[in-house]
Amino acid sequence: MEFKSKIKTIEWTGSCSRMVDQTLIPYEYKMVDIKSSKEMFDAIRDMIVRGAPAIGIAGAHGVVLAAMEIAKKTQDKSVFLNELKKHAEYLKSARPTAVNLMWAVDKQYELAKNSENSISGIVDELKENGIKLENEDIEINKKIGDYGAELVKQGATILTHCNAGALATVGYGTALGVVRSAYAKDNTIQVFADETRPRLQGARITTFELVTDGIPVTLITDGMSGYFMKKGMIDMVVVGADRIAANGDTANKIGTYNLAIAAKYHNVPFYIAAPLSTIDTSINTGDEIPIEERGHEEVTHVNGKRICAEGVKVINPGFDVTPNELISGIITEKGVLYPDYKESIKQAFSS
């Protein structure tokens, strides 16, 4: 059977960007319309849309909205392109770690810059390209899912962190794409989901997706993974990525690094599932990946209620970097990349 996820996280409607408001999940599954480039900046920063590939598409739609706004103010192409560049830079600053945002926004800006069309023609081209990127994202995820499923043994328990599912992409998912493709072949597999403090993407979003699709999932707190690995209850770890350096070092949701260390100690294979657009070949190692620092209330409060003493110091990095030597393989739309990652990544881009 082919496993279909009905979720479409984000899509261009013809006049605006429509997306699932992920801050409401699991209480409500509600679509919101984003109608201006400023609203798009806020939606990305406030995590109404989240997950590297979904943020990328949001950025692409953001450029379309910016182009529509600027087109109302000028008919001079060089003024238009100058303004568009400023808006593109602003959109890219909404979240610094997920490179898909920079990738998609730059792609849109380059398209506008190189176009020989009139301004209104460029706006149409940007809309079409945004829709193309949406469709490609789903196709890419299915390929990632199918390559990854080949690594999943009969009846396996897969541990995942954060949410790298349909809701982190346009649809289907990367790490959860692997789960969906594997489950389609073998419905005895199951998932263990880390809750993923502080934003609880695992508890709120991953369990929502998997329960909705009828895929068995057990929720655990972040500190439990070593315990279950020691008991031999975890067969593999599959997580997503926000940015992968040219040597395979991988930034993903904070806590991924701890998980990779625990997996290495217990000889549990640890895989990254990500599209090639998440690989940033302009940086050599993970040390160069900018790590987003988020608001302290994400740590001090749960559901608006303070959970710690007033005056406590807080640090809240959103991501950490897992060194390449802890990664068993990187599952991409071009197949599974293995160490030496410098070489295998280079080959994936040239094939």
286 binds ligand MRU (CB under 6 A): no
Q: Are 307 and 301 in contact (CB under 8 A)?
A: yes
Point out which span in 51-59, 105-113, 115-123, 326-334 binds ligand MRU (CB under 6 A).
51-59
193 binds ligand MRU (CB under 6 A): no
Q: Do the bridges between strand 329-332 and strand 335-337 make them parallel or antiparallel, or are there none, so unpaired?
A: antiparallel
CA distance 224 to 62: 39
Q: Which residue has the tokens 């949406």?
A: 134
**What is the layout of strands, in order, in the sheet containing 17-20?**
10-12, 17-20, 31-34
Q: Do the bridges between strand 190-194 and strand 279-280 make them parallel or antiparallel, or are there none, so unpaired?
A: unpaired
52 binds ligand MRU (CB under 6 A): yes
CA distance 57 to 48: 13
For 61, how many CA atoms within 13 A lie in the half-sphere containing its CB?
30
Among the listed residues 119, 162, 191, 289, the single contact to ligand MRU using CB under 6 A? 162
Q: How many CB atoms are closer than 10 A to CB 188?
A: 9
Site string for ligand MRU, 87-116 (x = CB under 6 A): -----------x------------------
Point out which span in 48-56, 142-150, 307-315, 327-335 binds ligand MRU (CB under 6 A).
48-56
51 binds ligand MRU (CB under 6 A): yes
Which position among 137, 235, 242, 249 bears the catalytic label? 242
Q: Are 92 and 105 in contact (CB under 8 A)?
A: yes
327 binds ligand MRU (CB under 6 A): no
Catalytic residue check, 242: yes
**Residue 48 Cβ, how far from ligand MRU at the closest point, in Å?**
11
**Residue 200 Cβ, how far from ligand MRU at the closest point, in Å?**
10
Point out which span in 12-20, 28-36, 45-53, 328-336 binds ligand MRU (CB under 6 A).
45-53
**Residue 242 Cβ, how far from ligand MRU at the closest point, in Å?**
5
> Which residues, numbered 233-252, are part of the site for ligand MRU (CB under 6 A)?
239-242, 252
277 binds ligand MRU (CB under 6 A): no
Considering beta carbons, is residue 84 or 164 the nearer one to ligand MRU? 164
| CA-based nearest residue to 112, from 64, 65, 69, 76 | 64
Considering beta carbons, is residue 67 or 318 the nearer one to ligand MRU? 318
130 binds ligand MRU (CB under 6 A): no
Considering beta carbons, is residue 68 or 205 the nearer one to ligand MRU? 205
Instruction: Give the residue closest to ligand MRU by C-beta.
Output: 240
318 binds ligand MRU (CB under 6 A): yes
**Residue 292 Cβ, how far from ligand MRU at the closest point, in Å?**
8
**Residue 69 Cβ, how far from ligand MRU at the closest point, in Å?**
26
- Per the structure block, which two tokens stand in for 285? 């190692």
Phi/psi for 16 (5° steps) reads: -155, 180
CA distances, 164 to each of 18, 123, 230, 274, 295 (Å): 20, 31, 25, 9, 22
Among the listed residues 174, 207, 225, 328, the single contact to ligand MRU using CB under 6 A? 174
Q: How many CB atoms are closer than 10 A to CB 134?
A: 21
Count interface residues toward ligand MRU (CB under 6 A): 18
Within the chain, residue ranges assigned H as helices are 37-45, 52-71, 77-92, 99-114, 119-149, 175-185, 201, 207-213, 225-230, 256-265, 297-300, 341-350
Among the listed residues 7, 53, 143, 238, the single contact to ligand MRU using CB under 6 A? 53
CA distance 149 to 277: 21
- Residues of this chain that bind ligand MRU (CB under 6 A): 50-53, 98, 162, 164, 168-169, 174, 201, 239-242, 252-253, 318
As annotated, the active-site residues are 242
